[in-house]
Amino acid sequence: MVSAPAPTARPGAQDSLPPPSSLWNDLLGEDERARLAHGRFARRSGFGKRPAVVVIDAQNYMLGPIGDEPYEYVSSCGEVGRAGARQIARLLDAAREAGAPVFYTRFELARDGSDMGAYRRKRDLVESEGWCLEDSFGAAIADVVAPKDGDIVMVKKKPSGFVGTPLLGLLIDRGVDTVIVVGGSTSNCVRATAVDAVSLNFRVVVPADCVFDRVGISHRVALFDLDRQYGDVMWCDEVIAALREGPTA
């Protein structure tokens, strides 16, 4: 039977949550579901002993009101992104209380586009203070998820938070075995970071309501792929509960 689409608002009490698969089940045919079940995809990898949160590009350029003055946020995810950021803020509070380290990435480009690399073949340079230009308002991390003392912020130039940054070494130094990936966008930088994390043998958790995208179907398909092959897609409330319960592995 086809599951109902996921609600747009945050689910209520944890015991009343629909499964995250409600986000993508209606995109699959019966034969596809049978093939996945027969192939034993999407088993749970679970939490390890030492989780960390990696906040991907929760910046003003991703969250600003589309078309508003004084800046034009041409890469914004709109209200979907702002709702996700509010959920991220809740999760970060729980992570810090549990002693889990928090890392942020900021996607930031030179104002002349000289460090865009291959990205410039797919996207024009946008000369706006609401985009991810160096030292612009758009490149700053949004206030709702602002870093706190002890958090680490790093600049990246590529989709994955691991490429060209010290993230891997910092995770190893802190004994991290589980990476909780939040932020945006789901189908781009979140997905790239999650795939690299599992490729490096970390457990991966993606809270579905703590990630966001500009395109709804891209968000849903990316979460399906991540849950099928790379990590556990959960709800924010479930991840918070796991952080509070402590290690299970």
Q: Which residues are catalytic?
A: 189
Provide DSSP, 139-197: TSBPGGG---TT-EEEEESSSSTTTTSSHHHHHHHTT--EEEEEEE-IIIIIHHHHHHH
| Helix/strand/coil for 52 | strand
**Nearest partner of 197 among 218, 178, 210, judged by Cα:** 178
Cα(154)–Cα(221) distance, rounded to whole angstroms?
28
CB 2 within 8 A of CB 25: yes
CB atoms within 10 A of CB 129: 16
